[in-house]
């Protein structure tokens, strides 16, 4: 099967497994795991932030961040299709007792003006606007990247109104590699950043939350409450350290493959339009919802897996486990449909 369902389907390479096998470990709840401590140090340093915290998933790093930034009754401002709102099981309400102010974005991105207009007046009737959460790249937007200037404008609004500024950077490395943006710049812009090791970077498990020492102190307490305190997790950290060293630059290959795939999808008679991919996500619009199901069936029968992406779209994601040959074969099949 040529599996385009997600960049989470990758399996660790031999070299990554070797690094995991050789990991020095300890009990991380006691703060004793040298590999975890090293991963957290390396990641924090990379972004020029004070501290980092390893967690089992990106959902957990996002939910912990929201929990630390807010109090029950506060309001979180985010895009209407953002992962923190749409794909985390209502966690903002369930875990943190917050309401959500949803903004309609362009390809998953919101503007400083929209944020400014969404901030509640200081009035006892209203929830208290407390946090802005952005997503880069945007999953539902089709792997789109924010410009630094757009982020700076939103940050200025957050500072003016004393709002926290969180980044769901599950695919931040895709954005940085594609645009040439700098990790330290992101560290300056945001109060907290979540990055996934288990997406394009090819680790089996893991995400990191970055922030100040005080923020991460509180995040560690919340992680324990959420059940995310792990013991000899250094085996997973070793995969993360390996990925940060070896799997960032190669994301360019995934982006090239996404562009090649998008071209083939445009030649496919069953596809109406294809959004020009910016990174490793390709979104193809088809005639209607029934067409989505039937095309996914046909693709599957020919050895290609993809997923439904809303009412009339299909998402393909390129990743580490898809070779040039896989892409070539998939393109041949897609063009012949
Ligand atoms: C995958 C993803 C996450 C985190 O997902 P987990 O499966 O919980 O690790 C968060 N945000 C975005 C945008 C994602 O695509």
Average pLDDT over residues 218-244: 98
CA 299 to chain centre: 26
Fold of 250-335: 3.90.1150
Is any ligand 1 atom within 6 A of the Cβ of residue 169? no
Q: Ligand 1 centre from 12 Cα, in Å? A: 18
Q: Which of 60, 199, 201, 317 to mutate to test the pocket of ligand 1 (most atoms within 8 A of CB)?
A: 199
SS3 percent helix, strand, coil of the chain, rounded to 5, is: 45, 20, 40
Is any ligand 1 atom within 6 A of the Cβ of residue 95? no
Within 10 angstroms of residue 145's Cβ, the number of other Cβ atoms is 23
Two tokens, residue 189: 């812009």
**Separation CA 51–CA 62 (nearest Å):** 16
**Phi and psi angles of residue 86, each rounded to the nearest 5 degrees, phi first:** -90, -25
* First-last CA distance in the chain: 17
User: pTM of the entire structure?
Assistant: 0.98
CATH of 12-246, one of 3.40.50.300, 3.30.70.20, 3.40.50.10440, 3.40.640.10: 3.40.640.10
pLDDT digits (tens, 9 = 90+) for 292-330: 999 999 999 999 999 999 999 999 999 999 999 999 999
Dihedral sign, Cα of residue 7, residue 8, residue 9, residue 13: positive
Q: Ligand 1 centre from 304 Cα, in Å? A: 23
pLDDT digits (tens, 9 = 90+) for 103-140: 999 999 999 999 999 999 999 999 999 999 999 999 99
The full set of domain ranges for the chain reads 12-246, 250-335
Q: E strand or H helix at 192, and its extent?
A: strand 192-196
pLDDT digits (tens, 9 = 90+) for 177-203: 999 999 999 999 999 999 999 999 999
């Amino acid at each position: 099967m040529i599996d385009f369902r997600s960049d989470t389907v990758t399996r660790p390479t031999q070299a990554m497994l070797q690094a995991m096998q050789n990991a020095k470990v300890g009990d991380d709840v006691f703060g004793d795991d040298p590999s975890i401590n090293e991963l957290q140090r390396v990641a924090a340093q990379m972004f020029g932030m004070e501290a980092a915290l390893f967690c089992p998933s990106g959902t957990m790093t996002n939910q912990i961040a929201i929990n630390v930034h807010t109090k029950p009754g506060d309001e979180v401002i985010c895009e209407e299709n953002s992962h923190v709102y749409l794909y985390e099981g209502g966690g903002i309400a369930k875990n943190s007792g917050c309401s959500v102010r949803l903004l309609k974005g362009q390809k998953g991105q919101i503007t400083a003006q929209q944020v400014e207009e969404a901030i509640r007046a200081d009035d006892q009737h209203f929830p208290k606007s407390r946090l802005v959460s952005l997503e880069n790249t945007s999953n539902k937007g089709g792997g789109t990247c924010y410009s630094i200037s757009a982020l700076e404008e939103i940050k200025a609004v957050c500072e003016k109104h004393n709002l926290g500024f969180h980044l769901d950077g599950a695919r931040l490395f895709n954005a940085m590699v594609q645009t040439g943006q700098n990790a330290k710049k992101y560290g300056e812009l945001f109060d907290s950043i979540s990055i996934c090791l288990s997406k394009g970077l090819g680790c089996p498990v893991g995400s990191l939350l970055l922030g100040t020492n005080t923020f991460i102190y509180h995040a560690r307490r919340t992680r324990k409450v959420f059940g995310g305190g792990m013991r000899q997790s250094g085996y997973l950290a070793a995969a993360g350290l390996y990925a940060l060293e070896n799997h960032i630059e190669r994301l360019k290959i995934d982006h090239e493959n996404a562009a090649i795939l998008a071209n083939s999808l445009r030649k496919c008679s069953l596809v109406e339009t294809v959004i020009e991919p910016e990174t490793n996500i390709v979104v193809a619009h088809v005639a209607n919802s029934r067409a989505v199901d039937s095309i996914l069936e046909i693709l599957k029968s020919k050895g290609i897996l993809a997923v439904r992406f809303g009412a009339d779209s299909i998402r393909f994601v390129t990743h580490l486990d898809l070779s040039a040959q896989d892409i070539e074969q998939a393109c041949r099949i897609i063009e012949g449909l």
